[in-house]
A = this chain, B = another copy of it.
Amino acid sequence: MSDLLERLRGRGWRMTAQRRVVAEVLDGEHVHLTADEVHSRAVAKLPEISRATVYNTLGELVSLGEVLEVSTDQRAKRYDPNAHQPHHHLVCARCGAIRDVHPVGNPLADLPDSERFGFTVSDVEVTYRGVCPNCAAA
């Protein structure tokens, strides 16, 4: 994660204990935390960090393109540090577990012109749903 912090400092980001902690919490693979989850974990490392700062920092990381906002359910937005490799998501319908996945082919090509209604289509977002091995065993 010092990669990320270095890059951010290079972009003129003022470094604070709060921002360092948020960046630390977001480290890892298949990480898709809600703002509230980020806040809880951040508080464990820096008890005085406020909810507003977590929201501010997440918003900035998204603006900078260093974190993605994903919404796999209609509850809270989730924050995804895997911003530099395009991917989609596989979600367990029972427990909510989320994995990053890389389907083959280009889903954009699957939308015929006759189904584009004159839109300029530039992006596609795919969410697979199913049951994870843990939940299937239970």
Contact = CB atoms under 8 A, between A and B. Distances in A.
A111 B103 contact: yes
Contacts of A121: 90, 128-130
Interface in A113-138: 115-133, 136
Interface of A: 69, 71, 74, 77, 90, 92-93, 99, 101-105, 107-108, 110-112, 115-133, 136
Nearest to A102: B115
Contacts of A132: 117-119
Residue from A71, A105, A120 with most neighbouring chain B CB atoms (10 Å): A120
A128 B123 contact: yes
Given A77-B74, A120-B136, A115 B130 contact: no
A6 B119 CA distance: 37
B126 A107 contact: yes
A111 B123 contact: no
B111 A110 contact: no
Nearest to A69: B74
B126 A130 contact: no
Contacts of A111: 90, 101, 103-104, 128
Contacts of A107: 103, 107, 110, 126
Closest 4 CB pairs of A and B: A118-B133, A121-B130, A103-B110, A119-B130
